[in-house]
Structures are given as structure tokens and as C-alpha cells.
Chain A
Amino acid sequence: MTTQTSRWQRALRGWFDPRGRDAGLIAFALNRISGLALVLYLVLHLCVLSTLTHGEPAWEGFLRLAHTPLFFLLDMALFAAILYHGLNGVRVSLIGLGYGGRQQKSLFYGLAAAAVVIWGIAVWLMATV
């Protein structure tokens, strides 16, 4: 019988081990990672908003923190996750219903390239405007 540990190991390897796999698994794994990151962000976002209940000083303190380089990096990572998850979601919706399945690799590369371009423009705007 499979132990609990080995079942987890098998699941993680099935999801994230790229050896011997194709572009489909890369897209699948990135979708999960970006999805989990967005869920984590949502929780953090609600926690941060809750500082409003502690009054203006607490909120001002958070705003000072939000203007540090670390938060800029986190914003860039967040936007990358949103872009990838959203664009790949379009791809998954299409091929999941049988449209463009044979082109799914090209779709992945195309949408990933679009995500990188849009992300680059967004980072440039965030850094300069």
C-alpha cells in the first residue's frame, strides 16, 4: 500500500518534475505556482487592509513599508503571476473544451511571450512614472 509520504512525493513529482516532460507540464506547473501565489497574496492583502482598523498610524506605517524596494519587487512578482495565470487561463479554457489542442504548445509559448512583454512594459511604467 502506498504510504502517505510517498503519495505526496508522487503528486509533487507529477506536478512539478520537468524531467522527460513537455511544454504542457511547464504550463501546468506554472499555473499552479502562480495560482497559489495569488491565493497567498489575497490573504496577505486582507491582513494588510485589516491594519486600517488599528488607526491612521498603523496604516501610515504600512504605507512607508510599501514604498521600499522589497515591496516593488513583490509588486513585480504579483503582476507576473496575475498576467501568466490570466493568459494561461484563456489557453486552458480553449484547449479544455477541445479548441486548439494541437496548437497548445504554440499557444503556451505565444501567451508566455505576450506576458513577458506586457510585464516588461508594466515594470518600466511602475519604475518610471
Chain B
Amino acid sequence: MTESQRPLSGNGRPGPKRPVTFRVYRSRAGSGAEPRFDTFQVDVDPRMTVLDALEDIRTGQDPTLLYRHSCHHASCGTCAMKVNHRDVLSCVTNVLELGTEVVTVEPLGVLPPISDLVVDMTPLAEQISPTGLKTLRLSEYNAKAVAPEGVGAYHRFENCIECGACVSACPITNTDSDFLGPAALAATYRALLKGDTLPEKLYALADCEHGAWRCHTGWECTSVCPSDVDPAGLLTALRRRVLVQKVRRLFGIGG
């Protein structure tokens, strides 16, 4: 092996490979078979991510392993899964930095499983859709980006990549399947700021049994969010807006 072929460590210097055991969740929806964990050994170099390891397994050990990915750099949100029980983007989760000899890989929670590590993202899209918000926008880091009319400044929700990690980590979505969830409620707040959707419609979405008041502020959504959207912060800001709006309506102030 030449110097250029040797794996590099995080600081750019060559690093040794280490054997790591992967316990990977396997299932086929509708097959009738019980879900199980399969074990794979992978020689991991210091720069290898969990997604790299899964690709290694798929190409070298088990071509039937199913997972979803696209961009490999935390932009698309398609490779979110549970790694060692934490909801992460597998494409930016370094294997050796996990610090465990055995790495457990499972699909996101709450969202319906399809096969192996792939879940159905339709419920998440259906929750966000009523807000009328298209979530992928210009970055606030783009110096030339100009906020649309009616928006004072770009907020962190612009960064939402709809990966579903927040929904999977939320203790309430695990309890109440009708709960709108952190991603959609953050979208609701952003839509209120943007002003394209009727405020009454957004307030109705937020101010209901399964809306903003259902959240118990566990703050796990913000904790796992790979894009620092801070869904919990936006959700609580939404609550304040709803509360102010209710008080104003009570006293017949404003529209």
C-alpha cells in the first residue's frame, strides 16, 4: 500500500483501521418475518462514517441490506437513522468517534418502517404540508440572500432538511400518533412569520389537542437536530404567538 492509499485520520495523517462490529436492524414490512439484528464486521478507517460502513456491508457482505441516502454531506436528510440509539445523519457520523466496539444501527422511530433502515417519510411530509411552507430555501449564510417581503430575517428553520430525526426523538410522537410533531410545528411558526398562509389556518393547526400544547418540552428534538433548526425553540415561540392571539381575541383586539 502506498502512502497515498493509506487511510487518513481526522488530522490528515494516516491512521490505522480498526475492526468494528455492526448490529444492523433487518425487517421487511409485510413479509410476516420478525425483525432481527444481523451482525457484520467492518474494518473501519478513522474517516469512515456509518453510511460508509453500511455501503461497505452492502457491497462486500450483504447486497440485500436496504438504507436510503443521497448527498453524503448532511444536506439532503435522507440518511437519518438511529445509531447507538441516537437519531443522527449517518453520513456525518464518524464510526470511531462513537467510541464503541459494537455499533447498533436501527431505522428512525415513529415513522412507519418499510425495509431494514428505510422508513416511510410520507407522514412527515403530510404534517408539514398544511403549513404551506416550502422548507428548502436560501441559506442565511449566503451574504447576498435577501429575505422575502414580510420576513424580517432568515430564521434557522430555513435549514430544516426534513430528515425526521426530531420526530423520531420526540417522546410525545412516540405516545400520540396524531401529534403534529416538532418539524411541522416549527414549520407552522415559520409560515406565520412568512405570512403566505392564512394566520387563522396556522393558528388552528397549532392550537388544538394534537398541536403545540401537546409538547412537553423534553427538548430532544432540538438536541438531535443535525441542522440546528431548534424545533423546540420555534415551537415554544409559536405557543407564545398563539397565546397572545387568544388573549387579543378574548378582548376583541386586532383582527
Contact = CB atoms under 8 A, between A and B. Distances in A.
Interface of A: 2, 10-11, 13-15, 17, 19-22, 24-25, 27-28, 31, 92, 95-98, 101-102, 104-105
Contacts of A11: 174-175
Contacts of A104: 217, 219
Nearest to B241: A98
Contact of B220 (A19, A22, A97, A101): A22
B84 to A, nearest CB: 6
Contact of A24 (B109, B174, B218, B237): B218
B187 interface: no
A10 B217 contact: no
A104 B217 CA distance: 9
A10 B109 contact: yes
Contacts of B171: 14-15, 25, 28
Interface of B: 82, 84-87, 109-110, 169-175, 177, 215-220, 222-223, 230, 232-233, 236-237, 239-240, 243
Contacts of A15: 171, 174-175
A97 B239 contact: yes
B23 to A, nearest CB: 13
A124 B71 CA distance: 60
Contacts of B237: 98
B233 A101 contact: yes
Contact of A20 (B85, B172, B216): B85
Q: Specify which of B87, B217, B233, B236 lies most central, judged by the most chain A CB atoms within 10 Å of its CB.
A: B217
Contacts of B216: 28, 31, 92
B85 A19 contact: yes
Contact of B82 (A10, A20, A28): A20
Nearest to B218: A28
A101 B219 contact: yes
A17 B168 CA distance: 13
A20 B87 contact: yes
A95 B219 contact: yes
Nearest to B239: A97
A21 B220 contact: yes
A96 B219 CA distance: 10
15 contacts: A13-B174, A14-B170, A19-B85, A20-B87, A21-B169, A24-B220, A25-B220, A28-B217, A28-B220, A95-B219, A96-B239, A98-B233, A98-B237, A101-B230, A105-B219
B86 to A, nearest CB: 3
Contacts of B230: 101-102
Contact of A22 (B82, B219, B243): B219
A89 B12 CA distance: 48
Contact of B109 (A14, A92, A96): A14
Given A11-B175, A22-B219, A98-B239, 19 more contacts: A10-B110, A14-B174, A19-B84, A21-B86, A21-B223, A22-B223, A24-B217, A27-B218, A28-B216, A28-B218, A92-B217, A95-B217, A97-B239, A98-B236, A101-B222, A101-B236, A102-B233, A104-B217, A104-B219
A69 B120 CA distance: 55
Contact of B219 (A2, A20, A24, A97): A24
